[in-house]
């Protein structure tokens, strides 16, 4: 008889699994008595019905080598549940990552809104935020060139408010009816199922080139905004014009903006491509590490408030979601801050099952007639039914309000909270159940509407190029170069020449130099005519510095990460001095060594490394320091990845600190002749403090043209 493979392996794993089971007990069962404890005091494994399990290693069979039997209810239940673990991924924004936190109100906004969360200074409202990419599937890589979702659920005392925004303040289309077309075109092509998580293909650019209203958004998506360094360094926008309504019933229009406390930051495209290989979870890991280490990401909520007179006099229609109101024209006012301080206990239960819906608004916040917003108000409820399988998704803890709630909705799949009592309707004669509150209840702003029922696009939505141009001319030279490079890259992947040319025709209406640069790089020999436009592009719109990431960069290196390349014999004083200065600047560092086991420093101390060189390329860091010992550098010279570490950091315009012992490595990377203000000898004249201060600039943009020209 074959012996059972049970005891030893069960014991070995019991430590790890006991915690999960105990956690589960908290969720679903009461206190476990002795009956529920193993001999060593751990929790007993049970079926979902609560029956204790004796053997979870072997299925029930006839004889040691015989067939399995149907009696094995434990096997069947386990396998059945596993088979049903997946739910449909979101049709867009499938890949996402969430965190808990709170929103804190600065000052009362009672003059503008009766929304409870904005009444009292210092009031804290629990929040859950999910960041996402749009086009890729759930398992795609974090650094796809894509818009990022920035969806915020605020559990207010008067119901959940979902501000389901993006990291870009405009959108591709003006009418929700075009959304299925846009997304079909952007996602993988239906016959071949690629490319995934990228817009660099024919169908996307075909649709875009036939949809001039998308031109402003295209300028944004081809900018570095779509390759953010992490969620922590990007803005969020409600996009649409909403309304605030105060206790007197007066309405003020509002646009919502989230501003990251640590400033804006993006990566370079070449870096993004490499990050996707080195760490496809780069953004997830970043958020996880920041929160787990107590460096809680923070954004300020700012609002642009305006009235009907402003709307009437503004250059563009405030209901058009392809337009912004420049911050220089209408400065946003800070009204509170959002802090993320806790990761979910379980990704699926919270981040996957969270259901955001634009129509979730508390009293005091209302919609405008933006046709995109109105269409979204239908879509989000509908999509949750498909994704979460029934109408009771509000019973899930992540979706349930955190304020008292009472209604007569009942039954349906997985009903966990049916109304109690006899009367499940109202009015009723038994005095049972909740009743309406005409005073505190939600009242829609009584906007006056009239007109014919038509399918029409308003003329006030017809200028598709002026703000696209304004965005482009608001960028710094490196940012403009990146837009041209991104357009060239994306269009170079388009196989149908007429689509490329059609895009050039649009670019001619935005900026002629941009159009000719891209056309030249694509090898287009005859320039097309500018695209037909309903109205000429305005050249009187002032540049808006607020649109530049570089101008909205950080004030310091806080929250960023330095990668330090070390070898055995690393100068202990130098390493301690540098890491001390980094920590003092509230930044992080990681050590990269030939072996992950670590290195022995010049004082004989063993220092564990975070990465081996292969696993820690410089693209994972905001800046690097090269501290090999005199002997150690010889070994590094033999490693191609050590050379790449340095050459990439240089090419990506990063600051590089180096000990004199690293000179041979700089030479090997081919940059010795090009040392510039971003390559800094350590400890250097100004000491570590000066180096860390220089790091706050993040990039040496002046280096970029020469690197691109291949001089390095």
Contact residues for ligand HDE (CB under 6 A)?
A: 90-93, 96, 130, 132, 149, 151, 164-166, 171, 176, 179, 239, 356, 372, 375-376, 379-380, 383
Q: Is 166 one of the catalytic residues?
A: yes
Give the whole-angstrom CA distance, residue 601 versus residue 595.
Answer: 14
Is-catalytic flag, 346? no
User: SS3 for 473-522, per residue?
Assistant: HCCCHHHHHHHHHHHHHHHHCCCCHHHHHHHHHHHHCCCHHHHHHHHHHH
Cβ atoms of 325 and 304 within 8 Å: the answer is yes
Identify which of residues 161 and 356 has a Cβ nearer to ligand HDE in the complex. Answer: 356
Between 387 and 576, CB nearer to ligand HDE: 387
Choose between 169 and 696: whose C-beta lies nearer to ligand HDE: 169
Instruction: Report, in Å, the least distance between residue 190 CB and ligand HDE.
Output: 18
Q: Output the smallest distance, CB 181 to ligand HDE, in A.
A: 11
**Residue with nearest beta carbon to ligand HDE:** 149
Please provide residue 482's backbone torsions phi and psi, each rounded to the nearest 5 degrees: -65, -35
**DSSP, residue by residue, 305-320:** EE-HHHHHHSSS-TT-
| Angle at which helices 477-492 and 269-278 cross, to 10° | 60
Nearest approach in angstroms of CB 487 to ligand HDE is: 22
| Cα–Cα distances in angstroms (integers) from residue 218 to residues 168, 223, 471, in the given order | 11, 8, 10
List, in order, residues 6 or more apart from 600 with CB less than 8 Å away.
Answer: 568, 569, 606, 607
Cβ–Cβ < 8 Å for 643, 674: no
Nearer to ligand HDE, 301 or 499 (CB): 301
In the bound complex, what is the minimum distance in angstroms from residue 141's beta carbon to ligand HDE?
18
Judged by beta carbon, residue 323 or residue 654, the one nearer ligand HDE is 323
DSSP 8-state code for residue 68: B
Measured in whole angstroms, the distance separating CA 442 from the mean position of its chain's CA atoms is 32
Catalytic residue among 93, 240, 283, 482: 93
Q: Which of 36, 74, 160, 166 is catalytic?
A: 166
- Sign of the alpha-carbon dihedral angle for 586, 277, 703, 480: negative
H-assigned helices in 652-686: 663-668
In the sheet with 679-681, reading across from the earlier edge strand, the strands are 611-612, 588-593, 561-566, 623-627, 656-658, 679-681
What are the binding residues for heme?
90, 130, 179, 376, 380, 387
Q: How far is the CB of 226 from ligand HDE (least distance, A)?
A: 14
Nearest 5°: CA angle at 315, between 312 and 321? Answer: 90
Whose Cβ is closer to ligand HDE: residue 150's or residue 650's? 150
On whether the CB atoms of residues 172 and 163 are closer than 8 A, the answer is no
N-term to C-term CA, the chain: 71
Catalytic residue numbers, as ranges = 93, 166
């Amino acid at each position: 008889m074959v012996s059972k493979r049970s005891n030893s392996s069960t014991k070995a794993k019991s430590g790890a699994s006991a915690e999960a089971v105990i956690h589960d007990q908290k969720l679903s069962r009461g206190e476990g008595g002795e009956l529920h404890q193993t001999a060593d005091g751990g929790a007993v494994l049970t079926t979902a019905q609560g029956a204790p399990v004796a053997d979870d290693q072997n299925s029930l069979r006839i004889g040691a080598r015989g067939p399995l039997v149907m009696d094995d209810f434990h096997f069947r239940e386990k396998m059945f549940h596993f088979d049903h673990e997946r739910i449909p991924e979101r049709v867009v924004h499938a890949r996402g990552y969430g965190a808990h936190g709170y929103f804190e109100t600065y000052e009362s906004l009672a003059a503008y809104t009766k929304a409870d969360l904005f009444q009292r200074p210092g009031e804290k409202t629990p929040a859950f935020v999910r960041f996402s990419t749009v086009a890729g599937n759930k398992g795609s890589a974090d650094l796809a060139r894509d818009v990022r979702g920035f969806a915020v659920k605020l559990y207010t005392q008067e119901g959940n408010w979902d501000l389901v925004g993006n990291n870009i303040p405009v959108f591709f289309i003006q009418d929700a009816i075009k959304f299925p077309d846009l997304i079909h075109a952007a996602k993988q092509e239906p016959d071949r199922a690629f490319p995934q998580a990228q817009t660099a293909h024919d169908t996307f650019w075909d649709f875009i080139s036939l949809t001039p209203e998308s031109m402003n958004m295209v300028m944004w998506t081809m900018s570095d905004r779509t390759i953010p360094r992490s969620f922590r360094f990007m803005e969020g926008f409600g996009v649409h014009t909403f309304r605030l309504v105060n206790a007197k019933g007066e309405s003020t229009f509002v646009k919502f903006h989230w501003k990251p406390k640590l400033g804006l930051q993006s990566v370079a495209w070449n870096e993004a491509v490499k990050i996707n290989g080195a760490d496809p979870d780069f953004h997830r890991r970043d958020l996880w590490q920041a929160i787990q280490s107590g460096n809680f990401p923070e954004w300020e909520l700012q609002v642009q408030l305006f009235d009907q007179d402003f709307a009437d006099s503004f250059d563009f229609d405030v209901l058009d979601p392809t337009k912004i109101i420049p911050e220089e024209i209408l400065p946003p006012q800070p009204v509170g801050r959002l802090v993320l301080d806790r990761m979910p206990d379980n990704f699926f239960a919270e981040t996957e099952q969270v259901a955001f819906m634009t129509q979730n608004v508390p009293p005091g916040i209302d919609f405008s007639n933006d046709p995109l917003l109105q269409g979204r108000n239908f879509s989000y409820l509908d999509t949750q039914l498909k994704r979460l399988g029934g109408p009771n998704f509000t019973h899930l803890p992540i979706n349930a309000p955190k304020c008292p709630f009472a209604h007569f909705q009942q039954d349906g799949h997985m009903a966990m909270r049916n109304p109690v009592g006899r009367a499940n309707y109202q009015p009723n004669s038994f005095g049972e159940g909740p009743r309406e509150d005409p005073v505190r209840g939600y009242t829609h702003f009584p906007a006056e509407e009239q007109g014919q029922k038509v399918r029409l696009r308003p003329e006030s939505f017809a200028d598709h190029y002026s703000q696209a141009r304004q965005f482009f001319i608001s960028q710094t030279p490196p940012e403009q170069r990146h837009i041209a490079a991104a357009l060239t890259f994306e269009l170079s992947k388009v196989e149908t020449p007429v689509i490329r040319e059609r895009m050039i025709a649009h670019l001619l209406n935005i900026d002629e130099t941009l159009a000719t640069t891209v056309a030249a790089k694509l090898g287009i020999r005859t320039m097309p005519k500018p695209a037909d436009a309903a109205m000429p592009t305005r050249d009187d719109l002032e540049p808006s510095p607020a649109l530049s990431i570089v101008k909205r960069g950080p004030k310091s290196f806080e929250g960023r990460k330095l990668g330090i390349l070390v070898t055995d014999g690393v100068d202990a004083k130098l390493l301690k001095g540098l890491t001390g200065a980094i920590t003092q600047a509230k930044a992080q560092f990681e050590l990269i060594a030939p072996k992950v086991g670590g290195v022995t420093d010049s004082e004989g101390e063993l220092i564990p490394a975070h990465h081996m060189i292969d696993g820690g390329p410089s693209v994972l860091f905001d800046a690097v320091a090269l501290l090999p010992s005199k002997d150690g550098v010889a070994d590094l010279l033999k490693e191609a990845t050590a050379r790449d570490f340095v050459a990439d950091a240089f090419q990506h315009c990063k600051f590089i600190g180096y000990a004199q012992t690293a000179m041979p490595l700089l030479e090997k990377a081919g940059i010795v002749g090009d040392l510039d203000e971003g390559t800094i000898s350590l400890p250097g004249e100004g000491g570590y403090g000066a180096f860390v201060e220089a790091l706050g600039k993040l990039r040496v943009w002046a280096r970029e043209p020469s690197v691109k020209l291949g001089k390095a």
